[in-house]
Amino acid sequence: MHVSLIGTNGFLSESIALACNDNCFELSVFGRREPRRHAYTSFHAIDLIEEHLDCKKLVRSDLIIYTAGAGIQSNLKEGLDLIYNLNVVVPVQICNRLKELAYKGAFVSFGSYFEIGENASDKAYTEIDVLNSQFKAPNDYVISKRMLSRFFSSFSTEFTFLHFILPTIYGERESNHRLIPYTLNAIERNIDLSFTSGMQIRQYIYISDLVNILFRAVSANLTSGVYNVAGAEELSVKQLVSMLFELKGRSVTNNVFGKAERLDVGMKILKLDGKKLQRRIGHEPKTKISQVYNKYNLSDNGSDN
């Protein structure tokens, strides 16, 4: 199989690329920086904001995966034009060009369960629920992801496109500032922690489970459309942090919660109903955080998410 991967050195893109290496797939990579942690057949240096991607380089690929994006890390203070261009304009332009070129393979892109918006209902949202959500969007990242998902809910073409709505992804190569490595690092070094109230409930999926599901879905020849990928676990931030402390033989104190502010606090509960995809590929994520937390090498986590 020939895979073209758009976006380099992010947590998701690196994990997909490593799976391609394991399966001896031909891999073409497009992005600003040359990949650091995986092999590839060809690298095409491109700034997707400043340059147009030559889609003629993509059409001989069996599978094209778009992992580029902006806005998920609020600390980066990325501009609005960057967020909307990378998250909406560029993938739409690529799909339209592939359509014009009569591409015959499959195109994969990603949404986020943040698209649900500010929600306090304890329910798992179906694909239709997510697409129809009118809940307040807390930031432009959420708005841009909603725009892309709505595009794919109406898009029509001869090639296969699979747009996956994702929960929170975690794994041993994620950046140190994210919740699990941040907490583990603080426990190891006895550093003071700072969280919100910790009551937000999130779904979690291990990165290897996600990548496995992605390739299973492609090989199953799914009908084009939008698909939820549900997590294997549903935990509040407080439950997750407390579990990590217990796994490390420590006790967490309640005074670490309520000391920080985040823009996503209004999204109190985010859950996806993944039955549609699970029925069609006969597989669902199984890995639990407690099974893999000890794989984290905190001195080597540097993926640009």
**Domains and their CATH numbers in the chain:** 2-171+206-233+273-284 (3.40.50.720)
pLDDT at residue number 305: 44
pLDDT at residue number 90: 97
pTM, whole model, 2 decimals? 0.94
d(CA 266, CA 94): 34
Per-residue pLDDT of the chain (305 residues; tens, 9 = 90+): 999 999 998 999 999 999 999 999 999 999 999 998 899 999 999 999 999 999 999 999 999 999 999 988 765 567 899 999 999 999 999 999 999 999 999 999 999 999 999 999 999 999 999 999 999 999 999 999 999 999 999 999 999 999 999 999 999 999 988 999 999 999 998 888 878 778 899 999 999 999 999 999 999 999 999 999 999 999 999 999 999 999 999 988 877 887 666 656 789 999 999 999 999 999 889 999 999 999 998 765 555 54
d(CA 81, CA 190): 40
CA–CA distance from 298 to each of 14, 111, 155, 174, 249 (Å)? 17, 28, 42, 9, 18
Cβ 108 vs Cβ 232: under 8 Å:
no
Among 278, 287, 241, 282, which Cα is nearest to 260's?
A: 241
pLDDT at residue number 198: 85
